[in-house]
Each structure stands twice: as C-alpha cells, then as structure tokens.
Structure 1
Amino acid sequence: MPSEPLSQKEIEDRLRELPGWTFEDDRISRTYRLGTHLAASALVAHIAVVQDELNHHSDLTLGYDSVRLAVNSHDAGGAVTEKDFALAQCVEDLAPAHGAA
C-alpha cells in the first residue's frame, strides 16, 4: 500500500522536531559532520543497516568527514511521507554515538 504524502505544513511542523534537517527538492535532508573519514564510513554502514530493517532507503553521500542523507518516498510519487520522518528520527538517534554533529 502506498504511503500518503504529507502536506507542506505537516512537513514544516515535523522538521521543527528535527533540528538540522531541511526540505528541498521534494526531499528531507541533513548533512552530518564527523571527526574522521572512518567515523563517517561507520555512520554510513550503520544507517544502511537501519534502512534495511525499515525497508526504506535514502540517498547517502559519504564525504571525507561528512555524511549527507536525503530521502523521500518512491511509493508516494517522490513525496515526503511519515516513513521519511521515521527514518530521519532513527538516524538522529544513532548519529551521536558516531560523534556526528
């Protein structure tokens, strides 16, 4: 069953609960800064595990000491849904353990 797209207001309201996250190009996204490339790589691997558990995947970009995550829901025509915010919250919960800021 396809996910229901969130309205612009719902997205704005939910983003207030996730400091550092933004909405652009029909996606929610955030860039995390880490102390080393190895720490950034470990965060990417941890996010990949969570995404498989949720069966919901983002675009992940690994930089030298950064990780960028951008997500929307393909089953909702590329719109942002509750699934995207659930993934974002999971990443927010695990990122500090990797030293992400």
Structure 2
Amino acid sequence: MPSEPLSQKEIEDRLRDLPGWAFAEDRILRTYRLGGHFAASAFVAHIAVVQQELNHHSDLTLGYDTVRLTANSHDAGGVVTEADFALAERVESLAPAHGAN
C-alpha cells in the first residue's frame, strides 16, 4: 500500500525540526560535510544499513568529503511522505558519530 503524501505545510513544519534539511523538487534533501573521503564513505555505508532496516531508500551522492541525501517516496508517486522524514531523522541521529555537519 502506498504511503500518503504530506502537504506543503506538513513538510514545512517537519523541516523546522531538521536543521540543514530543505525541500526542493518534490523531495527533502541535505548535504553533509565530513572530515575526508573515508569518513564520508563510512557515513554512506551506515546510511545504507538504515535504509535497509526501514525498507526505504534515498538517493545518495558521495563526494570527496561530502554526502548528499535526497528522499521522496516512489510508491507514493515521487512525493514526500512520513517515511522520508523517518529516514531523515535516523540519518540525523547518525551524523554526529561520523563527524558530519
């Protein structure tokens, strides 16, 4: 069963609790800066584990010392749902351990 899309107001309200995150092109997104390529790669691997646990996968872009995550729900037609925020919150909880900011 597809997830229900969140309204623009619901998205804006939820983003207030996620500093650094934004909404653009029907997705929520954030870019993290890390201490180097190995740290960024480890962060991506940790995010991948969380995505498997949640059965919700985002797009990840690995740079030398950056990780960019963009999320929307394909099963809801490519819009933002509660599942995207659940993923964002989990990633935020991991970020400090990786030195991501």
Q: Structure 1 length as normaliser, TM-score?
A: 0.99
Q: Which stretches in structure 1 are left out of the alignment for 5+ residues?
A: none
Q: Which stretches in structure 2 are left out of the alignment for 5+ residues?
A: none
Asked if 1:12 corresponds to 2:22, the answer is no
Asked if 1:3 corresponds to 2:14, the answer is no
Kindly report which structure 2 residues correspond to 1:13-52, keeping only aligned pairs within 5 A, or say none: 13-52=13-52
Counterpart residue number, 1:96: 96
Distance in 2 separating the partners of 1:50 and 1:31: 17
Distance in 1 separating the partners of 2:59 and 2:88: 12
Distance in 1 separating the partners of 2:3 and 2:30: 22
Q: What secondary structure is seen at the aligned counterpart in 2 of 1:32? A: strand
Counterpart residue number, 2:55: 55
Counterpart residue number, 1:65: 65
Give the share of equivalent positions with the same residue, in percent: 82
Q: CA RMSD in A?
A: 0.3
Q: What secondary structure is seen at the aligned counterpart in 2 of 1:31? A: strand
Q: Structure 2 length as normaliser, TM-score?
A: 0.99
Q: What secondary structure is seen at the aligned counterpart in 2 of 1:69? A: strand
Report the Cα offset of residue 68 of structure 1: 0.1
Runs of 4+ in structure 1 off by over 6 angstroms are none
